[in-house]
Amino acid sequence: MNFKKLGIAGVLGFFTMGFVGAITFELFHKGHFASIVEKYPDVITFPPNMAPAMIGGIFYMFVMVYIYDRMGVDSLKVGALTGAWFGGAKWLFINTQWMAMMPNLFDPSYVAVDVALSAIMYSVSGAVIGWSLNRFN
């Protein structure tokens, strides 16, 4: 296992995901979660406490990089395609679970846009990861 390669790919993937995620948060998610806070102030913290999210994000990114490496993802194109289906599938699953438990908070139109944005976000970070896994091999 090449820790240097995985480490560099993980760091670059994490920062790419954070950058694209910040854009999607500002343009789409911020308004949705602000409206939820107005209705249910004891349920959602807004703005969120990013410390637990960052810890989970770092861990998840390195797991994802390890999986991509084991799958043979080693280019921009393959990384982007893998990221798109990986992110879209992950967030379709999570969002439909939220819809089942909290239908008033997560309607189908929100979920459809979120899954599409997630596929794009994971595609961009997947491209960076794929490039990194090849470049720092």
- For 70-99, the pLDDT digits (tens) are 999 999 999 999 999 999 999 999 999 999
**Residues 84-94, buried b or exposed e (16+ Cβ, 10 A)?**
bebbbebbbee
Question: So what's the pLDDT on residue 65?
Answer: 98
Query: Do residues 71 and 129 touch, judged by C-beta distance below 8 A?
Result: no
pLDDT at site 8: 97
Specify the pTM: 0.90
CA distance linking residue 96 with residue 11, whole number of Å:
30
Distance CA 34, CA 133 (A): 38
Q: Locate the domains of the chain by residue range.
A: 3-135
Q: Which residues of the chain have pLDDT under 50?
A: none
Mean of per-residue pLDDT scores for the chain: 93
Residue 137: strand, helix, or coil: coil
Q: Give yes or no for a contact between 14 and 123, defined as CB atoms under 8 angstroms apart.
A: no
